[in-house]
Chain A
Amino acid sequence: MTLAALSLAEGVPQLTLFAVLALALACLGFLGFELRKREGAVGWVLLSGLLALLLVAAAVLRPARVNTRGVSVGAKVVVLVDQSRRLLLPSEGKTRRELALRAADAVSKHFAGARVELRGFGTGELRPLVVADALAHESPAELSDESDLSGALNALAQEPGERPKAIVVVSDGRFTRPGATQDDASLRELAATVGAPIHIVAVTEQAPRDASIRSIRTSGASVAHQALALTIEIGCGGGLACGEVPVTARELRQGVEPFVLASGVAKMTGETATVELSITLERAGARLVEVSIEPPEGDTIPENNRRILSFSVTRDRLRLLHVAGRPTYDVRALRMWLKSDESIDLIAFFILRTDEDNTETNEDSELALIPFPVDELFTEHLPSFDAVILQDIDAVQYKLLRHLPALANYVRGGGGLIMVGGPSAFAGGGYARSPLESVLPVELGGGEPFDTADFVPRYTEAGRSAPVLRGLTELFADELPTFTGSNTLGAARPNAITLWEHPDRRAGRGPMPVLALGESGDGRSIALGVDGTHALAFSEFADRAAGRAYGALWDGLVGWLMRDPRYEALRLELAGPCIAGLPAKLRLVRLPGATGDVSLQLTRLGPQRTPVLTKTVKEPAPGPLELELGALEVGGYSASARVGAAPPTRFDFACERGGPAWSDSRPDPERLSRIAKASAGRAVSAAQVNELPVPDPIEVAAERSHVPLLPAWAWTLAASLALGGHWYARRRQGLL
């Protein structure tokens, strides 16, 4: 391709051009004014004047010829292929993703003359896409839950370099953004950001026969013991007749069957119905709630019939039940510490009188005593407590025995338990071989229930490194006060950690635990086999730290019991979403100072107790650590990780098959058409790709030459001659 054009001499500024033109016009005007009433051969004067003006202008501007040689290249076309996990939904015997990739391939071929760039979009970022590679991986892990076309178009608009002449979007139309309710004006605004028509290729227009949980909304924050409303939208698509759809919300717990929180029925009048369930989560921390529907017959996508939601349940106040078998200085110290903490809602019951005591009263009205509401506390109100502290209370004498199974279930269900020592605690209180023993971190052996000898407990290696005791060790290092007597505790259970041990007494093959922590099901428990921690609050020993050691110890114990992250040696999180069937990773962040081997045990939430995965990493390098969990099935999981000898840290998470991406399986061809229309593009089906208009190629200059029409002296000579002729003509007319 060669093009020729006229131009001015190189280096002549535009201002000069305007000045010459202005001067020429002024001269012409003056000449016309002179000749307005003249008769005779004024035509020669005018003609010679015009010629002189033109030649003078040419002498100044020196016109040149510009020759351009160039090439024609194809227009830039960007093909955006939806990379959301939603496209793994089945369609026409394949997946929508496969249809989309094949359509993208067809688009590339259709625009063979253009420069086609294939990109994938999901959460907004754009990634290069190779169709053959993508087809080879049926369900790649990099697919996203979102389908953000708005974000992708904005990212494209902000890219430097050549703008595309056309954009082709390949999707089913169920975008996260732009939403279904976005108006045409905002769609036009979105299209204007890229400045090119957006053509659409709809991979499918056929909605599957599917009942699904379309969305779950919560109102307000999830706070322990407070009702939380779940607004659940159920959808029925593809002509499936749903009628009434039962909906159930269950909490997934470790070691036990899922606990039914609420249930209801969605009555379908059209394609959707909404049901509101009120649930109350009793335990704080990360809680998994499974919401499921019972779909009608003919449902073709079972994966979106249940969702597993993760709630981070907070506490308004920590609600503790403190039950003591008799008032002592130890009870006093604990009560005063608990009462001093404004964040604790304390319910306390102390046994102040037994049937054997002689109060020297004629009637009970002389006493300020109330009956111990043991049945009410351990049946009706038990779930409302975050933790229970049993301090030196005889389970037999005070009729606790019959409630121990419920108390054990309470712990397995996520409650906290601290058993504080004394003559009537542990085996001395009738807890040996009771259901509660199984949730304590230690076994309760036979023999004498307690020993009366003074002793100073010894820190174990775990005790020295455990964040739960850091407050205490910062005050007194390894030093502890002398305790008077100790309960007889058995060996620590598997997965339990001993923090203090007896220097002389033995339990099994090792030293007897004095302070031990353990997990049971969803809950945690602590065994403290002494009744003298008040010596950390009030004693000559305590005086050295002004009594602060007591608060340091109990802050740690109660904090650990309630899974306060400050008292965990590790922080666990998923490195990306957990999609059933795809490899998942867990990221472990160790606290400074937490060293040693890292071990991980992964258990499925529910009645099964066998771990699905156990791993140990020997002395890993400092810094975050990522552990491969492999491909997990749908469900809730509990990861328990431990670094060195420190107590384990637990992290619950869910794996879903479809997750939010599959919640609405219907394609949205209407939204696709509106986007195309707003940008003056076209919307076609995958079979009509060949109907998409191909943008014109772009001409690109390759060589340019600049040749003056005449040399400058020739223009000057011609202008001089023309001015001379004009002078002669004017003389003849008497105009000088």
Chain B
Amino acid sequence: MPPVNEMMMFKLCEVFSESIPMAVIQLKNVLEVGGDVDWIVVGAFLVSIMFVAEAVSYMTYMKDISEESRSTGKIFYGFMPLSGHRMHVVKISLLCMSFSCCTAKSLEIVVLLQVGGPFLAAQVLGADLGIYLIYKFARNDFRYWIPLPRGTSLIASFALRVMVKIVTDFTGFLHARHPFEMGGFYWFINMIMTQVGVFGALMVKQEFGWREGEGEVVVLPEEERVLKDEDYLKLAVLNFALWLISMAGLYIASEKKFNHTFYSLVTGKQFCRKLFETDQAMTIMEIFNCHRR
């Protein structure tokens, strides 16, 4: 396994199992805090989100510029300019996009928790995930590319598809637009759904209000909270503006001939075939050695 892949898997593990849940829990507490704000806790929340954004954008960057990726996957890797202002614009856009996605999805989940508790949040996340898995099945693109025995392959495919979907929901993980992962088209739709989801959740909250506190759940009256309910909308709008700017930056500054990868409908199998047709010995060897037949 190349070092870049080991690093990516290690970081993905951390983002999936720690950074994302921590960001949601901390955002919930920050939004519901009363007058006595502990600024270190607020700082810790920002550190969590920054960590997610940095980890994900760095993974995308390293995977895209690695020698191995660009030699064996040249029809996909290469959107990142290797020098000049455009490279910095793409890097900053990646960071801002991840930051914005993490804030948006966390805010959506927190608002759903406030309105209907964990059950409502789980239902919405589950439905979103279900639609994605149905899409993959419908396009005959569910099984992951790693060569494994059939049973193991199905279980591993399910686990990996779920993991990548959740990470992408919360981070806008740009590498997920790879046809072996979500594919460009679904990645783009997912980005839009993440932003739309926040406003949807805020509308639901406006309609149904806060749920009653249960057990340890004690909701402070609005006048005692630092952030009032109307501030959520301002936060969502600001975050949406950041996302729009970062998407524009990404599209304008990245290498033009790879722009199609942001909305491509190519499936994993079709991509493998395209790679095969490049007629490069190294690529063909990799397809036979490292991919499911």
Q: Do A and B truly interact? A: no
Binding site for B on A (CB under 8 A): none
